[in-house]
Amino acid sequence: MNIINYIQNYYGVLPEYLWKDTPNVCVFRHQRNRKWFAVLMNDIPAAKLGLKENKPLNLINLKCNPELAKMILIDHKNIFPAYHMNKKHWISVLLNNIPSNELKNLLAQSFRLTQK
């Protein structure tokens, strides 16, 4: 699944590339309140997530209910405490390994949590 196309088509939001020195990172935010609901990051070193692999990863940070985040993190190998964000309220999801329906559900939750 191409996550950028999915977000553009389903949520009507374009990616924003906010930092010139990191062209592989973009954010998606609500138009009304400007709150971020997703941060897409490509080529993040696996070691940044505590993995021993020596390869770049593609991941997306999503807002998550803290209680649900605890439960998800216990059982998943594809979901981690958020890289570079508040680990209580955000999770990092590896894009290459997660089923698209699960990713869509997590994205929908993030969108809802950031609407207000």
Q: Which two three-digit tokens encode residue 2? A: 């191409």
| 73-103 pLDDT, tens digit each | 766 788 988 888 988 899 999 998 889 999 9
Give the integer Cα–Cα distance in Å for 80 and 38: 15
Query: Looking at the chain, how many residues does it have?
Result: 116
Domains in the chain: ranges and CATH: 3-113 (3.90.1150.30)
The pLDDT assigned to 75 comes to 64
* Global pTM value: 0.92
Residue 23 DSSP one-character state: T
Give the integer Cα–Cα distance in Å for 116 and 99: 28
Position 33 pLDDT exceeds 90? yes
Q: Which two three-digit tokens encode residue 84? A: 């570079």
The pLDDT assigned to 71 comes to 78
The pLDDT assigned to 70 comes to 78
Strand pairing report for 79-81 and 90-94: antiparallel
The pLDDT assigned to 74 comes to 63
